[in-house]
Amino acid sequence: LRRRSPASAMLPSRAPALCTALRRAAPAGLASLHSSARRCRAARVAVVLSGCGVYDGTEIHEASAVLVHLSRGGAEVQMYAPDVPQMHVIDHSKGQPAEAESRNVLVESARIARGKITSLAKLTTADHDAVIFPGGFGAAKNLSTFAVDGKDCKVNREVERVLKDFHKAGKPIGLCCISPVLAAKVLSGAEVTVGHEEEEGGKWPYAGTAGAIKELGAKHCVKEVTISFPAHVDTKNKVVTTPAFMCETALHHIFDGIGAMVKNVLKLTGK
């Protein structure tokens, strides 16, 4: 027979009495503990897509990075996209428009969302603690007309509504790559980054976007894409931005920079 230690021998007879004593001694403390656990819930984050593919929709690597970092951060995610036609369709193998094709932004975005996607018209601040916009030229073509009109662009009315509603509610907004132009256009005086303001021999091929952001009335903040300085946090407006593929660099730097943006967005939710 295996001998029990004195401590283990005490458990069967004294455990019920110990539990009773704890309940009598600190009922308020126990109730507080349980209620605190109930209050500790995951941040609910909406991710807004603009199609599927860097040249005419959402940049897929950026969307994936956003989703991975949100998953790692324990967030509950719902994806949205406007139910509108794309500006045009690009043959990504050639980098040229496919003249005979037309596609729907919501339908194409469903490819990234694995079918679990909702029309942007149904996105409300009441259901979410934050919203994030990955980049890709879809932000400049399907969520706005920035690709064609620059500083004179118009923003999709549902995108504009969402940005204004989250800003008014004091809930954080995350944007990467070229999508910060949306905040620059809609949120007066916002601070954003798209990286550097000079091309620097092709390292920052879209550096001209920074000038357009300034013309829109926003403040542009020069930032690196690497993990050292990868995101800008506009604490006043709760807008978090990172350059991502505005820079020609290694994929893991893009991934890490987006992770910094997501981390700051989640931090601003207070969850």
Over residues 70-97, the mean pLDDT reads 97
At 103 the pLDDT is 97
- Pair of tokens at residue 227: 């993990």
Side chain identity at residue 171, one-letter code: K
User: pTM value?
Assistant: 0.85
Query: Residue 240's CB: how many other CB atoms inside 10 A?
Result: 30
- Residue 41, pLDDT score: 84
Determine which of 2-16, 64-78, 143-157, 207-221 has the lowest per-residue pLDDT on average: 2-16
Confirm if 216 and 170 have CB atoms less than 8 A apart. Answer: no
Look at residue 187 and give its three-state secondary structure: coil
Residue pair 182/139 in contact (Cβ under 8 Å)? The answer is yes
CATH 3.40.50.880 fits 44-269, yes or no: yes
Nearest to 51 by CA among 125, 116, 135: 135
Alpha-helical runs (H) found in the chain: 6-25, 27-39, 60-72, 105-112, 138-141, 146-149, 157-168, 180-186, 208-215, 251-269
Q: What are the φ and ψ backbone dihedral angles of 5, each rounded to 5 degrees?
A: -70, 155
Amino acid at 222: V
Catalytic one of 52, 176, 177, 247: 177
Asked about 177 being catalytic, the answer comes back as: yes
Dump pLDDT digits (tens) for 113-154.
999 999 999 999 999 999 999 999 999 999 999 999 999 999
Residue 131 CA, chain-centre distance (Å), reads 6
